[in-house]
Amino acid sequence: MIYNYIMVVVKKKFKKIAYTVLTALGIGMLTSCYGMPTRAYSIDYFSLHGKVTAEGTNKEIPGIKVTVNYGGEIKTYITDSSGNYFFDLYFDSEDFPGGIDVTITLTDIDGETNGTYSTKTLEPVRVTAESHEIEKNISL
């Protein structure tokens, strides 16, 4: 009886080891036949930050929704109590070899709390692989 139990355990262990070895060999055969993928991604990072102020008074405006659109990606940030906004943005420079256009839109979402401001969309800013930090102060 104990002999049968030992044989079952040994067979299970053997199967596990055999599956592991055969899987490793199979993956090795596939990569030797087809090679490893060669595309290396070139991810570029840049930060976009600034301050939103009232035109004419330079008063900082909190509670403004700042939306950036770049290469189909959309990110949103609400300005803090000092009117500041900050984005960390990433893109693959191989997909956008000449750079990428970033469009910034500002929207007043808090009603009359901090004043009433019209929605404003800025001209696109061109970002390249060499652009790492962009400061864009905006007046509404």
List, in order, residues 6 or more apart from 122 with CB less than 8 Å away.
103, 104, 105, 106, 136, 138
State yes or no: pLDDT of 60 exceeds 60: yes
Measured in degrees and rounded to the nearest 5, phi and psi for residue 55 equal: -65, 135
Half-sphere exposure (Cβ direction) of 64: Cα atoms closer than 13 Å? 31
Given a contact cutoff of 8 angstroms between Cβ atoms, the answer to whether 104 and 68 are in contact is yes
Both ends of the chain: CA-CA distance in Å? 86
Neighbours of 84 (CB within 10 A): 16
Measured in degrees and rounded to the nearest 5, phi and psi for residue 73 equal: -85, 140
Mean pLDDT of the chain: 79
- Band of residue 132 on the pLDDT scale cut at 50, 70, 90: confident
Helices (DSSP H) in the chain: which residue ranges? 2-34
pLDDT in tens, 70-128: 888 899 999 999 999 999 888 777 777 777 889 999 999 887 887 888 899 999 988 87
Please tell me which residue, 114 or 62, carries the higher pLDDT value: 62
Predicted TM-score of the model (pTM): 0.67
CA dihedral 75, 80, 83, 87 (to 10 degrees): -30
The tokens for 105 are 């839109």
Given a contact cutoff of 8 angstroms between Cβ atoms, the answer to whether 117 and 140 are in contact is yes
- Band of residue 9 on the pLDDT scale cut at 50, 70, 90: low
